[in-house]
Amino acid sequence: MEGRVPSKRRAKRTRERESVKSIAEQISALGGMSSRQLRAEYARVFGESTKTPHRGWLIKKIAWRIQADAEGGLSARAKEQADKLGADAPVRWNRPPPKSKSVNRDPRLPSPGTVLQRKYKGRTYEVTVLRSGFVYDGQEFQSLSAVAKEITGTVWNGLLFFGLKKRGKAPAS
């Protein structure tokens, strides 16, 4: 009687073996699926669709989910450790980088605060250069071309309209 395993333990081992066999069969079946079938399986398993046709990636992700569902995913200790490591990780690993405050300014533009003047159809127009845009008539614009269009009603090269670029001439380097 000593060498015999109690029936409850034996039943548990049998269920575990069947479960492992089932997981292996499910994962093995992924290899025979087309990209379209894998995308459908991904949507079923994850509850959301994906557009990627990359078979290898889809197989890995679906196989991971099948195993995680069968085994219960990460343990509480592993999740706790991941959270702890994540808190100490460099910022660039945790969240997207902040948008840069620096503006790539066109070197042909005058410094911020400069007021550009242009006489057009008998009227003088004034535009104030900002660090990242322009102000005309109390309204802010992203480009000089937008200001020129506002003034004339037609599409213009803003640098040309305000005399910062000569027609047909390449900008000085």
**What confidence tens digit (pLDDT) does each residue in 52-94 have?**
889 999 999 999 888 888 877 777 888 788 777 776 666 555 5
* 111-140 CB burial, b ≥16 within 10 A, e <16: eeeeebebeeeeeebebebeeebbebeeee
H or E element that contains 155: none
Q: Which of 91, 106, 136 is the last residue of a domain?
A: 91
Alpha-carbon distance of 37 to 24, in angstroms, equals 18
Alpha-carbon distance of 164 to 107, in angstroms, equals 11
Closest to 133 measured CA to CA, from 124, 122, 142, 146: 142
Same domain, yes or no, for 133 and 67?
A: no
Same domain, yes or no, for 83 and 123?
A: no
Same domain, yes or no, for 16 and 86?
A: yes
pLDDT of 4: 61
Q: Which domain holds residue 48?
A: 10-91
Same domain, yes or no, for 62 and 24?
A: yes
Same domain, yes or no, for 80 and 19?
A: yes
Amino acid at 79: K
pLDDT of 2: 53
74: left (phi over 0), alpha (psi -120 to 50) or beta: beta
**What confidence tens digit (pLDDT) does each residue in 94-150 have?**
555 555 555 577 888 888 889 999 999 999 999 999 888 899 988 999 999 999 999
Same domain, yes or no, for 16 and 84?
A: yes
Domain count, the chain: 2
- 26: in domain: yes
- 66: in domain: yes
